[in-house]
Amino acid sequence: MMAVKIAVSGIGAVGGYYGGLLAHQYQNSPEVEVYFISRGENMKVIQNKGLEISMPDSSFVVRPKLITDQPEDIGEVDFLLCCTKSYDLKDNLLHLAPVIGKKTVVIPFLNGANITEQIKTLLPDQEIWQGCVYIGARLLEPGVVSKYSVKERLFFGSEQGSKVKQEQLLTILVKAGINAFNPQDITTRIWKKFFMISTAATITSYYNKPIDEVVRDYYDSFKALCTELKQVASAKGVLLDDDIIETTLETQKMMPPGSITSMHHDFKQGKNTELENLTGFVVNEARKLNIATPFYDKMYAALSH
Protein backbone atom coordinates (compact mmCIF):
# COMPACT_ATOMS: atom_id res chain seq x y z
CA MET A 1 0.00 0.00 0.00
CA MET A 2 1.34 3.42 -1.00
CA ALA A 3 2.03 5.94 1.76
CA VAL A 4 -0.26 8.95 2.02
CA LYS A 5 1.79 12.00 0.98
CA ILE A 6 1.09 15.31 2.72
CA ALA A 7 2.83 18.55 1.76
CA VAL A 8 2.68 21.65 3.96
CA SER A 9 3.37 24.91 2.14
CA GLY A 10 4.43 27.83 4.32
CA ILE A 11 6.33 26.79 7.45
CA GLY A 12 5.49 29.81 9.59
CA ALA A 13 3.40 29.80 12.77
CA VAL A 14 0.44 27.78 11.44
CA GLY A 15 2.21 25.58 8.91
CA GLY A 16 5.15 25.06 11.25
CA TYR A 17 3.02 23.98 14.20
CA TYR A 18 0.63 21.65 12.39
CA GLY A 19 3.25 20.42 9.95
CA GLY A 20 5.57 19.87 12.91
CA LEU A 21 3.06 17.69 14.75
CA LEU A 22 2.46 15.67 11.61
CA ALA A 23 6.18 15.21 10.98
CA HIS A 24 6.71 14.26 14.63
CA GLN A 25 4.01 11.57 14.57
CA TYR A 26 4.84 10.11 11.16
CA GLN A 27 8.62 10.29 11.13
CA ASN A 28 9.84 7.08 9.41
CA SER A 29 6.21 5.94 9.04
CA PRO A 30 5.43 3.64 6.09
CA GLU A 31 1.84 4.94 6.13
CA VAL A 32 2.21 8.74 5.97
CA GLU A 33 4.97 10.92 4.49
CA VAL A 34 5.16 14.59 5.47
CA TYR A 35 6.91 17.19 3.31
CA PHE A 36 7.63 20.86 4.00
CA ILE A 37 7.77 23.51 1.29
CA SER A 38 9.60 26.58 2.53
CA ARG A 39 12.34 28.97 1.45
CA GLY A 40 15.17 31.20 2.60
CA GLU A 41 16.80 31.03 6.00
CA ASN A 42 13.87 29.14 7.55
CA MET A 43 14.35 26.30 5.07
CA LYS A 44 18.12 26.21 5.58
CA VAL A 45 17.87 26.05 9.37
CA ILE A 46 15.27 23.25 9.26
CA GLN A 47 17.39 21.33 6.74
CA ASN A 48 20.39 21.55 9.07
CA LYS A 49 18.86 21.37 12.55
CA GLY A 50 15.23 20.35 12.14
CA LEU A 51 12.17 22.36 13.17
CA GLU A 52 11.80 23.13 16.89
CA ILE A 53 8.23 23.19 18.20
CA SER A 54 7.97 24.99 21.54
CA MET A 55 4.78 24.68 23.62
CA PRO A 56 3.84 25.81 27.15
CA ASP A 57 4.49 22.34 28.59
CA SER A 58 6.98 20.74 26.20
CA SER A 59 9.21 21.17 23.17
CA PHE A 60 10.70 18.88 20.56
CA VAL A 61 12.56 18.93 17.26
CA VAL A 62 11.11 17.35 14.12
CA ARG A 63 12.35 16.50 10.66
CA PRO A 64 9.98 15.99 7.73
CA LYS A 65 10.59 13.47 4.98
CA LEU A 66 11.99 16.40 3.02
CA ILE A 67 12.04 20.20 3.25
CA THR A 68 12.63 22.02 -0.01
CA ASP A 69 11.85 25.13 -2.03
CA GLN A 70 11.60 22.98 -5.15
CA PRO A 71 8.17 21.24 -5.20
CA GLU A 72 9.27 19.07 -8.12
CA ASP A 73 11.54 17.25 -5.63
CA ILE A 74 8.38 15.99 -3.87
CA GLY A 75 6.10 15.07 -6.75
CA GLU A 76 2.34 14.62 -6.62
CA VAL A 77 0.82 14.50 -3.12
CA ASP A 78 -2.51 13.36 -1.71
CA PHE A 79 -3.10 16.40 0.50
CA LEU A 80 -1.64 19.89 0.12
CA LEU A 81 -2.03 22.12 3.19
CA CYS A 82 -1.60 25.77 2.19
CA CYS A 83 -0.49 27.92 5.13
CA THR A 84 0.96 31.01 3.44
CA LYS A 85 -0.33 34.59 3.64
CA SER A 86 -3.37 35.25 1.45
CA TYR A 87 -1.60 37.89 -0.64
CA ASP A 88 0.89 35.21 -1.76
CA LEU A 89 -1.84 32.79 -2.81
CA LYS A 90 -1.67 33.04 -6.60
CA ASP A 91 2.13 33.01 -6.87
CA ASN A 92 2.32 30.23 -4.29
CA LEU A 93 -0.09 27.98 -6.21
CA LEU A 94 1.83 28.50 -9.44
CA HIS A 95 5.00 27.49 -7.60
CA LEU A 96 3.25 24.42 -6.15
CA ALA A 97 2.08 23.07 -9.52
CA PRO A 98 4.49 20.06 -9.42
CA VAL A 99 2.86 18.62 -6.28
CA ILE A 100 -0.72 19.10 -7.51
CA GLY A 101 -2.05 16.14 -9.51
CA LYS A 102 -5.48 14.72 -10.31
CA LYS A 103 -5.82 13.04 -6.90
CA THR A 104 -4.48 15.99 -4.87
CA VAL A 105 -6.83 17.68 -2.41
CA VAL A 106 -5.91 21.30 -1.64
CA ILE A 107 -6.86 22.61 1.81
CA PRO A 108 -6.10 26.28 2.55
CA PHE A 109 -5.63 27.54 6.10
CA LEU A 110 -5.48 31.22 5.18
CA ASN A 111 -7.25 34.29 6.48
CA GLY A 112 -10.26 35.19 4.33
CA ALA A 113 -13.88 34.30 3.67
CA ASN A 114 -13.47 33.37 0.00
CA ILE A 115 -10.05 31.73 -0.17
CA THR A 116 -11.45 28.45 -1.54
CA GLU A 117 -13.32 30.37 -4.26
CA GLN A 118 -10.10 32.16 -5.19
CA ILE A 119 -8.27 28.86 -5.51
CA LYS A 120 -11.09 27.37 -7.62
CA THR A 121 -10.67 30.15 -10.18
CA LEU A 122 -6.99 29.20 -10.46
CA LEU A 123 -7.51 25.42 -10.25
CA PRO A 124 -11.04 24.87 -11.60
CA ASP A 125 -10.73 21.08 -11.94
CA GLN A 126 -9.14 20.47 -8.54
CA GLU A 127 -10.80 19.22 -5.35
CA ILE A 128 -10.55 22.18 -2.97
CA TRP A 129 -11.76 22.06 0.62
CA GLN A 130 -12.15 24.81 3.21
CA GLY A 131 -10.14 25.24 6.37
CA CYS A 132 -9.40 27.54 9.29
CA VAL A 133 -7.52 27.38 12.57
CA TYR A 134 -7.68 29.02 15.97
CA ILE A 135 -4.22 29.14 17.51
CA GLY A 136 -1.82 31.48 19.25
CA ALA A 137 1.57 30.79 17.67
CA ARG A 138 4.45 32.61 16.04
CA LEU A 139 7.67 31.90 14.19
CA LEU A 140 10.16 33.12 16.80
CA GLU A 141 13.14 32.80 14.49
CA PRO A 142 14.07 30.62 11.51
CA GLY A 143 13.46 27.01 12.50
CA VAL A 144 11.64 27.76 15.76
CA VAL A 145 7.84 27.85 16.15
CA SER A 146 6.29 28.79 19.48
CA LYS A 147 2.70 27.85 20.31
CA TYR A 148 1.74 30.03 23.27
CA SER A 149 -2.02 29.50 23.44
CA VAL A 150 -3.27 26.78 25.77
CA LYS A 151 -5.83 25.60 23.22
CA GLU A 152 -5.89 25.25 19.46
CA ARG A 153 -8.52 24.07 17.00
CA LEU A 154 -8.35 23.12 13.34
CA PHE A 155 -11.43 22.89 11.13
CA PHE A 156 -11.58 21.57 7.57
CA GLY A 157 -14.15 20.14 5.22
CA SER A 158 -16.16 20.28 2.04
CA GLU A 159 -19.84 19.75 1.40
CA GLN A 160 -19.13 18.34 -2.06
CA GLY A 161 -15.74 16.74 -1.41
CA SER A 162 -14.98 13.06 -0.89
CA LYS A 163 -16.26 11.93 2.52
CA VAL A 164 -13.81 9.02 2.51
CA LYS A 165 -10.84 11.35 2.04
CA GLN A 166 -12.16 13.72 4.71
CA GLU A 167 -12.39 10.85 7.19
CA GLN A 168 -8.91 9.71 6.17
CA LEU A 169 -7.35 13.14 6.79
CA LEU A 170 -9.22 13.58 10.08
CA THR A 171 -7.81 10.27 11.34
CA ILE A 172 -4.28 11.29 10.31
CA LEU A 173 -4.54 14.69 12.02
CA VAL A 174 -6.07 13.41 15.27
CA LYS A 175 -3.47 10.63 15.54
CA ALA A 176 -0.80 13.36 15.36
CA GLY A 177 -2.28 15.05 18.43
CA ILE A 178 -4.01 17.82 16.48
CA ASN A 179 -7.34 19.09 17.81
CA ALA A 180 -8.99 18.63 14.40
CA PHE A 181 -12.65 18.70 13.39
CA ASN A 182 -14.50 17.96 10.16
CA PRO A 183 -17.84 19.76 10.67
CA GLN A 184 -20.81 19.76 8.33
CA ASP A 185 -21.14 23.56 8.60
CA ILE A 186 -17.61 24.39 7.47
CA THR A 187 -18.69 27.53 5.55
CA THR A 188 -20.28 28.96 8.69
CA ARG A 189 -17.11 28.11 10.65
CA ILE A 190 -15.00 29.98 8.09
CA TRP A 191 -17.25 33.04 8.36
CA LYS A 192 -17.28 32.99 12.17
CA LYS A 193 -13.50 33.26 12.18
CA PHE A 194 -13.55 35.83 9.38
CA PHE A 195 -16.02 37.91 11.39
CA MET A 196 -13.58 38.09 14.27
CA ILE A 197 -10.39 38.77 12.34
CA SER A 198 -11.80 41.11 9.65
CA THR A 199 -13.33 43.54 12.13
CA ALA A 200 -10.38 43.49 14.55
CA ALA A 201 -7.69 43.70 11.87
CA THR A 202 -9.46 46.56 10.10
CA ILE A 203 -10.09 48.75 13.14
CA THR A 204 -6.74 48.19 14.88
CA SER A 205 -4.87 48.97 11.66
CA TYR A 206 -7.00 52.08 11.04
CA TYR A 207 -6.49 53.56 14.50
CA ASN A 208 -2.95 52.13 14.84
CA LYS A 209 -3.69 50.94 18.36
CA PRO A 210 -3.78 47.56 20.14
CA ILE A 211 -7.07 45.73 20.57
CA ASP A 212 -7.67 46.68 24.21
CA GLU A 213 -7.28 50.40 23.47
CA VAL A 214 -9.54 50.21 20.40
CA VAL A 215 -12.27 48.43 22.38
CA ARG A 216 -11.94 51.04 25.14
CA ASP A 217 -11.74 54.17 22.98
CA TYR A 218 -13.67 53.26 19.81
CA TYR A 219 -16.25 50.74 20.97
CA ASP A 220 -19.09 52.26 18.91
CA SER A 221 -17.01 52.18 15.72
CA PHE A 222 -16.05 48.57 16.42
CA LYS A 223 -19.70 47.66 16.90
CA ALA A 224 -20.65 49.50 13.70
CA LEU A 225 -18.07 47.48 11.73
CA CYS A 226 -19.52 44.26 13.16
CA THR A 227 -23.04 45.34 12.23
CA GLU A 228 -22.01 46.08 8.64
CA LEU A 229 -20.26 42.73 8.25
CA LYS A 230 -23.23 40.84 9.66
CA GLN A 231 -25.48 42.53 7.08
CA VAL A 232 -23.14 41.46 4.27
CA ALA A 233 -22.99 37.89 5.58
CA SER A 234 -26.77 37.69 5.87
CA ALA A 235 -27.24 38.98 2.32
CA LYS A 236 -24.86 36.26 1.11
CA GLY A 237 -26.95 33.61 2.86
CA VAL A 238 -24.46 32.97 5.67
CA LEU A 239 -26.43 32.45 8.87
CA LEU A 240 -24.35 33.64 11.80
CA ASP A 241 -25.45 33.51 15.43
CA ASP A 242 -27.85 36.28 16.45
CA ASP A 243 -25.46 37.39 19.20
CA ILE A 244 -22.25 37.24 17.12
CA ILE A 245 -21.70 41.00 17.40
CA GLU A 246 -21.87 40.94 21.20
CA THR A 247 -19.79 37.77 21.56
CA THR A 248 -17.13 39.12 19.17
CA LEU A 249 -16.79 42.33 21.15
CA GLU A 250 -16.72 40.46 24.47
CA THR A 251 -14.02 38.14 23.13
CA GLN A 252 -11.87 41.11 22.09
CA LYS A 253 -12.26 42.63 25.56
CA MET A 254 -10.50 39.56 26.97
CA MET A 255 -7.39 39.97 24.82
CA PRO A 256 -4.21 40.71 26.83
CA PRO A 257 -3.26 44.41 26.99
CA GLY A 258 -1.10 45.47 24.07
CA SER A 259 -2.26 42.64 21.76
CA ILE A 260 -2.19 43.60 18.10
CA THR A 261 -3.60 41.83 15.08
CA SER A 262 -1.40 40.25 12.42
CA MET A 263 -2.48 42.80 9.79
CA HIS A 264 -1.79 45.72 12.15
CA HIS A 265 1.64 44.24 12.84
CA ASP A 266 2.37 44.02 9.10
CA PHE A 267 1.32 47.66 8.62
CA LYS A 268 3.60 48.74 11.46
CA GLN A 269 6.49 46.79 9.94
CA GLY A 270 5.88 48.23 6.49
CA LYS A 271 5.25 44.75 5.09
CA ASN A 272 2.72 43.49 2.59
CA THR A 273 -0.67 43.09 4.30
CA GLU A 274 -3.89 41.10 3.97
CA LEU A 275 -5.96 44.28 3.55
CA GLU A 276 -7.64 43.14 0.34
CA ASN A 277 -8.80 39.80 1.75
CA LEU A 278 -9.81 41.07 5.19
CA THR A 279 -11.23 44.53 4.45
CA GLY A 280 -11.45 45.08 0.70
CA PHE A 281 -13.44 41.86 0.27
CA VAL A 282 -16.20 43.21 2.56
CA VAL A 283 -16.31 46.56 0.75
CA ASN A 284 -16.51 44.91 -2.67
CA GLU A 285 -19.17 42.37 -1.64
CA ALA A 286 -21.26 45.13 -0.05
CA ARG A 287 -21.19 47.12 -3.28
CA LYS A 288 -22.35 44.09 -5.28
CA LEU A 289 -25.20 43.59 -2.80
CA ASN A 290 -26.14 47.29 -2.54
CA ILE A 291 -25.42 47.34 1.18
CA ALA A 292 -24.11 50.52 2.81
CA THR A 293 -20.87 49.96 4.76
CA PRO A 294 -19.67 53.49 5.63
CA PHE A 295 -17.27 52.42 8.38
CA TYR A 296 -15.65 49.69 6.28
CA ASP A 297 -15.50 52.09 3.31
CA LYS A 298 -13.81 54.83 5.35
CA MET A 299 -11.23 52.53 6.92
CA TYR A 300 -10.46 50.67 3.70
CA ALA A 301 -9.94 53.94 1.81
CA ALA A 302 -7.58 55.25 4.49
CA LEU A 303 -5.59 52.02 4.74
CA SER A 304 -5.31 51.72 0.96
CA HIS A 305 -3.21 54.89 0.71
Per-residue pLDDT reduced to its tens digit, 166-176: 999 999 999 99
Domain check: are 11 and 145 in the same one?
yes
Closest-CA residue to 105 (of 87, 126, 119) = 126
Residues 44 and 14 in one domain: yes
Which of 140, 161, 183 is the last residue before a domain boundary? Answer: 183
pLDDT at residue number 141 = 96
What does the alpha-carbon distance between residue 25 and residue 173 come to, in Å, rounded to a whole number? 9
Residue where a domain stops, chosen among 183, 201, 219: 183
179, 197: one domain: no
| CA distances, 284 to each of 163, 276, 278, 293 (Å) | 33, 10, 11, 10
- 8 A C-beta contact, residue 242 and residue 212: no
For residues 136 and 147, the answer to whether their CB atoms sit within 8 Å is: yes
Q: CATH number for the domain including 147? A: 3.40.50.720
Same domain, 136 and 229: no
**Position 61 confidence tier, pLDDT thresholds 50, 70, 90:** very high
- 42 falls in which pLDDT band (50, 70, 90)? very high
Question: How many domains would you assign to the chain?
Answer: 2
Are 24 and 152 found together in one domain? yes
Report the 10 Å Cβ neighbour count for 37. 31
What is the average pLDDT across 269-280?
95
Same domain for 161 and 117, yes or no, is yes
The pLDDT value given to residue 133: 96
**Contact criterion met (CB below 8 Å) for 35 and 63:** no
In the predicted model, is pLDDT for residue 236 greater than 80? yes
Residue positions counted in the chain? 305
Predicted confidence band of residue 151 (pLDDT cuts 50, 70, 90): confident
Find the mean pLDDT for residues 98-107.
98
pLDDT higher than threshold 90 for residue 149: no
Is residue 295 domain-shared with residue 232, that is, in the same domain? yes
Last residue of a domain, one of 134, 164, 183: 183
- What pLDDT does 183 receive? 97
> Are residues 138 and 230 located together in one domain of the fold?
no
pLDDT in tens, 249-261: 999 998 889 988 9
Please give the pLDDT value at position 152: 93
Shared-domain flag, residues 131 and 216: no
Q: What average pLDDT is seen over the chain?
A: 96
CB 174 within 8 A of CB 166: no
Measured between alpha carbons, how far is 300 from 280 in angstroms, rounded to an integer? 6
Q: Could you tell me the CA-to-CA distances from 245 to 185, 188, 277 in Å, in that order?
A: 20, 15, 20
Q: Is the same domain home to 167 and 89?
A: yes
pLDDT at 302: 98
Per-residue pLDDT of 67-97, as tens digits, reads 999 999 999 999 999 999 888 889 999 999 9
- Residue 136: how many CB atoms within 10 A of its CB? 13
In contact, 17 and 56? CB cutoff 8 Å:
no
Show the domain range for 9: 4-183
What does the alpha-carbon distance between residue 263 and residue 269 come to, in Å, rounded to a whole number?
10
Residues 168 and 194 in one domain: no
- List the CATH number of the domain containing 263: 1.10.1040.10
- Same structural domain, 35 and 65: yes
In the chain, % of residues over pLDDT 90 = 90
Confidence of residue 191 (pLDDT cuts 50, 70, 90): very high
